[in-house]
């Protein structure tokens, strides 16, 4: 492994993150588990950054891909009719709840959000965009511009005029001690103030994640995004829901994360889990918005026949096996076990919905964000056979998004490893 790591460092950029003091190479997988090049097997609670939504080696997906490859047609481009693309678009348009919806496919969530921003700014004739603090919307020039997380912003240069709103910072000094209702009122008042003091009359859109993924699975209190939407509607401002991490039933209580807020957006973006590892992203929007672009458009690889075969099979599997319901059941079981961890002095919060949950680590004395402790949990969980993620604006949050197919036995095992690991790290840091 040291030889491969040396080769990686020689030819890959230094800013390309690798987990673990001794990075691992995953060489095979089955169900909720993966095996590394050393032959060690792990329960995977991160799934390629919320992407292997059904887990590994799912026969229905593999066979659909193999059937498409067997035709000899792995690519044609959107200049030709693509049956699988049309079929998938029909399903997504129906599930979205957006009236007269149309769908455009891309290769990633970043590209999907770029497209959504293009639709909104063209429709409204302005480059002004509202976004949330602590958000993450992609790695490209435009999506970095609307990302409210300093750790992922390389440059202040931007093609957009962005104003950041509150939404998931209820623990900040300005809001500490407020109830959900008081916090929502304060955020809405701030939005109204931004619109009358900081922006020109026309604003294109607001873009928001129903649960902030890279931001450490931080969540706005239910009702805030609906309250924001009321203000946006007063001004004709469009609402974009970034569902790249929250879509397809992962939250357990709604098929798309925005449904937990009682909001039907004008535009939704999606990616990651839909292809169960195959590259697919896209935008679903009101037909008038989607048709509003006047220049020519094409997607060379967006809606690729092989990716469409995988995505159709994945979405069908989610619906046929009620994986939204499974996410609700398994998530409740896990969260019931994890919540008592907040009694530990190094755990500030345990939060989540369905199979999307997080543990926030802090210094047990000062209460300050503790990325080193989160890193210790990341390493300790791997040593115990569990893969998890790390994030948050201060990089002090463990984030978990197991496969939606997670069974009860694996849910209990992963939960118990997390409890054991966090408790061990807390004990060690307090004794030091």
Distant-in-sequence, close-in-space partners of 36: CB < 8 Å, separation ≥ 6: 24, 25, 26, 27, 42
On whether both 153 and 214 belong to a single domain, the answer is yes
Contacts of residue 369, defined as CB under 8 A and 6 or more positions apart, other chains included, come to 360, 361, 362, 363, 392, 394, 395, 396
Q: Pull the structure tokens for residue 387.
A: 């893969």
Report d(CA 349, CA 358) in Å as an integer.
Answer: 8
Residue 1's pLDDT band, with cuts at 50, 70 and 90, is low
Q: What's the CATH code of the domain at 327? A: 3.90.1150.10
413 falls within a domain: no
Q: To the nearest whole number, what is the mean pLDDT of the chain? A: 97
pLDDT tens readout for residues 146-171: 999 999 998 888 999 999 999 999 99
- HSE (CB half, 13 Å, CA atoms) of 293? 15
Going by pLDDT thresholds of 50, 70 and 90, the confidence category of residue 432 is confident
Pairing between β-strand 128-132 and β-strand 161-165 as defined by DSSP bridges: parallel
List of long-range contacts for 411-416, beta carbons under 8 Å, 24+ apart:
411/330, 411/333, 411/334, 412/333, 412/337, 413/43, 413/386, 414/43, 414/45, 414/334, 414/386, 415/333, 415/334, 415/337, 415/338, 416/337
**264 in Cβ contact with 51 (< 8 Å):** no
Whether 2 maps to a domain, the answer reads no
> What residue numbers bound the domain in which 347 lies?
322-404
Quote the pLDDT of residue 310. Answer: 98
> Does any domain span residue 422?
no
Are 74 and 94 in the same domain? yes
Of 241, 233, 235, which Cα lies nearest the Cα of 208? Answer: 241
Q: Percent of the chain at pLDDT above 70?
A: 100
The label of the residue with tokens 């209580």 reads: 253
Specify whether 305 is located in the same domain as 356. Answer: no
Q: What backbone torsions phi and psi does residue 203 show, to the nearest 5 degrees? A: -115, 135
DSSP class of residue 70 equals H
Are 123 and 206 in a shared domain? yes
Among 320, 345, 379, residue at a domain's last position: 320
What would the mean pLDDT of 348-375 be, rounded to a whole number?
Answer: 97
- Asked if 283 and 381 sit in the same domain, the reply is no
Domain count, the chain: 2
Crossing angle for the helix pair 408-431 and 323-338, to the nearest 10 degrees: 30
Q: In this structure, are 232 and 213 located in the same domain?
A: yes
- Spatial separation of the C-alpha atoms in residues 322 and 14, rounded to whole Å: 42
Residues 71-94, mean pLDDT to the nearest whole number? 96
- pLDDT of residue 379 exceeding 80, the answer is yes
Q: In the numeric block, which tokens belong to residue 111?
A: 């590209």
Per-residue model confidence as pLDDT tens digits over 207-221: 999 999 999 999 999
**Mean pLDDT, residues 229-243 taken together:** 98
20 in any annotated domain: no
| CATH number for position 194 | 3.40.640.10
Average pLDDT for residues 190-197, to the nearest whole number? 98
Q: Average of pLDDT values for 231-258?
A: 98
Q: Which residues lie below 8 Å from residue 257, measured CB to CB, with a gap of 6+?
A: 209, 210, 211, 241, 243, 246, 247, 250, 251, 353
Encoded tokens for 345: 């002095």
119 and 129 share one domain = yes
pLDDT digits (tens, 9 = 90+) for 93-150: 999 999 999 999 999 999 999 999 999 999 999 999 999 999 999 999 999 999 999 9
Q: Is residue 44 part of a domain?
A: no
Asked if the structure places residue 288 within a domain, the reply is yes
Left (φ > 0), alpha (ψ -120 to 50) or beta: where does 348 sit? alpha
Name the domain boundary from 320, 351, 369: 320
Indicate the residue among 320, 340, 375 that finishes a domain: 320
For residues 316-345, give the mean pLDDT.
Answer: 98
| 41 within domain boundaries | no
Please list the alpha-helical segments (H only) found in 203-322: 224-235, 287-290, 305-320
- Residue 414 falls within a domain, yes or no? no
Kindly state whether residues 384 and 248 are assigned to the same domain. Answer: no
Other CB atoms closer than 10 Å to residue 9's CB: what's the count? 12
Same domain, 249 and 374: no
Q: Please say if the pLDDT value at position 317 is more than 90.
A: yes
The pTM score is: 0.96
pLDDT tens, position by position, 4-55: 999 999 999 999 999 999 999 999 999 999 999 999 999 999 999 999 999 9
Average pLDDT for 73-94: 96
334 shares its domain with 224: no
SS3 label, residue 15: coil
Q: Are residues 188 and 308 in the same domain?
A: yes
The H or E element containing residue 142 is helix 141-145
Q: Are residues 315 and 391 in the same domain?
A: no
């Amino acid at each position: 492994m040291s030889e491969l790591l040396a080769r990686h460092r020689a030819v890959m950029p230094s800013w390309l993150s690798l987990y673990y003091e001794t990075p691992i190479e995953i060489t095979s997988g089955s169900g909720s588990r993966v095996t590394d090049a050393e032959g060690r097997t792990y329960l995977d609670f991160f799934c390629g950054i919320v992407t292997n939504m059904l887990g590994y080696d799912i026969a229905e997906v593999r066979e659909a891909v193999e059937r498409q490859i067997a035709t000899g047609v792995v690519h044609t481009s959107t200049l030709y009719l693509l049956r699988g693309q049309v079929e998938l678009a029909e399903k997504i348009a129906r599930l979205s709840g957006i009236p007269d919806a149309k769908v455009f496919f891309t290769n990633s969530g970043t590209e999907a959000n770029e497209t959504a921003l293009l639709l909104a700014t063209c429709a409204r004739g302005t480059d002004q965009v509202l976004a949330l603090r602590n958000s993450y919307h992609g790695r490209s020039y435009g999506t970095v511009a609307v990302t409210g997380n300093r750790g992922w912003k390389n440059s202040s240069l931007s093609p957009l005029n962005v104003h950041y709103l509150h939404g998931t910072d209820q623990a900040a000094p300005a809001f500490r001690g407020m109830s959900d209702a008081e916090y929502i009122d304060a955020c809405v008042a701030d939005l109204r103030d931004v619109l009358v003091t900081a922006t020109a009359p026309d604003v294109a859109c607001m873009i928001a994640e129903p649960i902030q993924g890279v931001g450490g699975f931080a969540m706005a209190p239910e009702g805030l995004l609906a309250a924001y939407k009321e203000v946006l509607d007063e001004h004709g401002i469009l609402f974009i829901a970034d569902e790249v991490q929250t879509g397809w039933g992962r939250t357990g209580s709604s098929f798309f994360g925005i449904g937990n807020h009682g909001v039907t957006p004008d535009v939704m973006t999606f990616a990651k889990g839909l292809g169960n590892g195959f590259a697919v992203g896209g935008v679903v929007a009101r037909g008038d918005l989607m048709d509003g672009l006047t220049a020519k458009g094409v997607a060379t690889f967006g809606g690729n026949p092989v990716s469409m075969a995988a995505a159709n099979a994945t979405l069908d599997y989610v619906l046929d096996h009620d994986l939204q319901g499974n996410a609700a059941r398994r998530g409740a079981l896990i969260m019931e076990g994890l919540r008592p961890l907040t009694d530990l002095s190094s755990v500030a919060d345990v939060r989540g919905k369905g199979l999307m949950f997080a543990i926030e680590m802090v210094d047990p004395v000062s209460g300050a964000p503790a990325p080193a402790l989160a890193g210790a949990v990341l390493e300790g969980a791997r040593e115990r056979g569990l893969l998890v993620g790390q994030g948050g604006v201060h990089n002090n949050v463990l984030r978990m998004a197991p496969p939606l197919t997670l069974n009860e036995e694996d849910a209990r095992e992963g939960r118990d490893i997390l409890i054991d690991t966090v408790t061990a790290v807390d004990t060690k840091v307090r004794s030091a």
